[in-house]
Structure 1
Amino acid sequence: MYIKKILWAVAIIGLVLAAIFGYYIYNAMLSPNTAFNNDEAYIYVPTNANYEDVRSQLEPLLDDIEAFDALAKQKEYTTNLKAGRFIIKKGMNNNDIINSIRINNVPLKIAFNNQESLAKLAGRIGFQIEADSLSLINAMTDEAFLKKSGFTKATALGMYIPNSYEFFWNTSAESFRDRMLKEYNRFWNETRNAKAKAIGLSRDQVMALASIVHEESKQASEQPRIAGVYMNRLRIGMPLQADPTLKFAAYQLPEYKNTVIKRVLNKHKDIESPYNTYMNAGLPPGLIAMPDISAINAVLNFEKHNYLYFAANAKKLGFHKFAKTLSQHNVNAREYQQYLSSQGINR
């Protein structure tokens, strides 16, 4: 009888311990453990991060960080971290969270356009992925890479076709650059290459002219007409005389640092620069900014006409008036100059 009581007591204690252990396992593995109100949250695990780096991000997101610690240690996550951007959904339990941040690296969409230089592009991308702007600009301007890929520092901006792309957050600077080269080569498909050859321009020349067209007008509807004006000038050996190239040349000078040129003046036409298309015939050596795809396509599909001139339209801002003769152009240009003066825009 006494032995039976002992056995019953042992059995009861065993059941209690099993229940406690089961409750612990349930809490550690299966009980919801999120403390945020949104449907989901993200954590960013840097390359070579340690568990404390991850834990500091998780702590404000979880109800019970100690329970998570215990299971993370048991599942060897604390010594086997993966870099990336990971999602945690509201109501997840610890087991689900560990599985998600171990294997579910979620890509993000990166978009860019209208970047004036590689440095500004690097700054924009550096806010969106793990690679910082310094490592990005170093990768983008690496001389060995540029030479191998057929670019120079003047043409390198043309490799980055403005669009939206999917990347993993932990993409390195070199991986970002290499992916952009693949996208560039994909963009320059057989059709675009054939069109460039048909109009007598190389890829780099198309991109350089597209950058001017885009700076002249953001209106996709009139970009082919503007491109046609410049193609006409190139055809007859007339200087492009593109005001945006004067601004670009000026911005390279110390006296124009941190300034905005709202009105191109005669003094700008005297700037010594290969980008001064008043002084130098033909296309400049590289891009003056990043053109939109619409401007690139506008050059490849330029409008065929007899216009040689255009001036901003004072009565329809953002658009232009086109002219076949210098006398008519002078009338249009004078009208716009008078508008600028009326607005107090003198420089």
Structure 2
Amino acid sequence: MTAARHKGLAGLILLLLLVLAAAALVAGWWGWQRYSAFADAPLDGLGDGAAVMVERGDSLPIVVRKLREAGVDAGDDLEWRLLARQLGADSRLHVGEYALPQGITPRELLGAMGRGDTVRHRFTIIEGWNIRELRAALGRADALEKKASELDDEALMAALGRAGEHPEGRFLPETYVFTRGDSDLDVLGRAATALDQALAAAWEARGPDTPLQSPYEMLVLASIVEKETAVPAERPQVAGLFERRLRIGMRLQTDPTVIYGIGADYDGNIRRSHLATDTPYNTYTRDGLPPTPIAMPSRASLDAVASPADGTALYFVALGDGSGRHLFADTYAEHQANVRRYLRNYREYVRGLEAGEK
């Protein structure tokens, strides 16, 4: 073969290599563009409130399949694997529920799964709820696994490691954050621990002249204060009044305890017959505190019982104007005058409501 032919062949080979290299560059550029478009483009097919659950043992292909089953246009499995490898998330997808808001990209979703940025749900125990109301609210919390509903009160407390305790008043009213897969027992366990801590702090801060003999008595009285007034500034006044009654041996005579004793049969109206019917919770017919709390007391009510307001009042009645405030009196005669004032205020309040409806 002549030198010219060798040179021509070498040139042809070089040209071919250049063409192949260019083709490889174009293919690589196209592949990178496609990969980048996949990684940073919003996922299609997301509905409002969409989420995906990564369960223990789920691999990336299983998660991608779950996305498709949820109606998401999830792209190609290879692209997901390449992206997961790039983010270091291919071998450490955290278990949990992940939100799929409108506009989320595969990069953002895998980043969240790699970090464990799961959806945080909230459950709020309302101040003054009783155990029946708390159980009903837990039953409506869709993201919680239901275990407590299968247990009666005795078994519930045993499951929480509190065998023999009455459940009323034992769970602190606050908002608790949880993730899907947690159970109602998990939330109740945290709420019970929070109540223990709040009660211990309140008991430690109690005054030296308190008539209360134990933290449990403080819990019972705080639950009564919780139900008697929704006005924060009045809680120490109400607590002081009840503690004065306990100190002199005067019956508490508080309607919320009677209502609690009626139980599920209470229809919203308390009658004279209810006040005269003896139950363990009727503080009109029995001395001292009822046997258990009647509701879930807030930190504010616990603190009010620990540090009640000074004063001499022994009686109180609602103001009757819809504000939730009360009138306080030292003597029964003053109290009777306040009752008459309450009746006048209440009639005016009702007339105002009726006029507004018209």
TM bin, normalised by shorter chain, reads 0.7 to 0.9
Q: Name which of 33, 37, 42 aligns with 1:23.
A: 33
Question: Within 5 Å, which residues of 2 pair with 1:37-48?
Answer: 43=51, 45=53
Q: Name which of 16, 21, 42 aligns with 1:11.
A: 21
* Structure 2 equivalent of residue 167 of structure 1: 178
How much identity, in percent, do the aligned residues show?
A: 23
Q: What do residues 26-82 of structure 1 show as CA deviations (whole Å, max 9, x unaligned)? A: 2333x3324699xx98735275686354545572xxxx5224x54345649899754
Q: Which has the larger radius of gyration?
A: 2
Distance change >3 Å, CA 329–CA 105, structure 1 → 2: same
Give, in whole Å, the separation in 1 of the partners of 2:102 and 2:157.
47
Q: What do residues 146-197 of structure 1 show as CA deviations (whole Å, max 9, x unaligned)? A: 6x437623xx242322233443444333332232233223323456335178
Residue 321 (structure 1) aligned with residue 332 (structure 2): no
Give, in whole Å, the separation in 2 of the partners of 1:292 and 1:23.
58
Q: Name which of 291, 296, 304 aligns with 1:285.
A: 291
Q: What do residues 217-239 of structure 1 show as CA deviations (whole Å, max 9, x unaligned)? A: 11121221211221122122222
Give, in whole Å, the separation in 1 of the partners of 2:67 and 2:92.
12
> How much does 1:106 deviate?
5.0
Give, in whole Å, the separation in 2 of the partners of 1:130 and 1:297.
33
Residue 260 (structure 1) aligned with residue 260 (structure 2): no
Structure 1's unaligned 5+ residue stretches are: none
* Structure 2 equivalent of residue 181 of structure 1: 192
Give, in whole Å, the separation in 1 of the partners of 2:322 and 2:41.
60
Q: SS at the partner of 1:322?
A: strand
Question: Which contiguous aligned blocks of 4+ residues in structure 1 show a shift greater than 6 angstroms?
Answer: 76-80
Distance change >3 Å, CA 182–CA 173, structure 1 → 2: same
Q: What do residues 256-288 of structure 1 show as CA deviations (whole Å, max 9, x unaligned)? A: 4xx322xx3211113342111112221112222
Q: SS at the partner of 2:75?
A: helix
* Structure 2 equivalent of residue 223 of structure 1: 235
> How much does 1:6 deviate?
4.2
RMSD: 3.8
Aligned residues of 2:41 and 2:105 also touching (Cα < 8 A): yes
Q: Name which of 105, 114, 134 aligns with 2:127.
A: 114
Question: Within 5 Å, which residues of 2 pair with 1:133-172?
Answer: 134-137=146-149, 141=153, 142-145=156-159, 148-149=161-162, 152-153=165-166, 156-172=167-183
The number of residues matched between the two structures is 327
Aligned residues of 2:240 and 2:308 also touching (Cα < 8 A): yes
* Structure 1 equivalent of residue 4 of structure 2: none
My pick for the range that moved more, 85-94 or 219-228, is 85-94
Q: SS at the partner of 2:127?
A: coil
Give, in whole Å, the separation in 1 of the partners of 2:93 and 2:101.
19
Distance change >3 Å, CA 144–CA 78, structure 1 → 2: same
Q: SS at the partner of 2:336?
A: helix
> How much does 1:10 deviate?
3.3
- After TM superposition, the score normalised by the length of structure 1 is 0.76
* Structure 2 equivalent of residue 232 of structure 1: 244
Question: Within 5 Å, which residues of 2 pair with 1:270-281?
Answer: 270-281=276-287
Q: SS at the partner of 2:196?
A: helix
* Structure 1 equivalent of residue 203 of structure 2: 192
> How much does 1:93 deviate?
3.8
* Structure 2 equivalent of residue 208 of structure 1: 220
Give, in whole Å, the separation in 2 of the partners of 1:249 and 1:20.
76
- After TM superposition, the score normalised by the length of structure 2 is 0.74
Aligned residues of 2:280 and 2:290 also touching (Cα < 8 A): yes
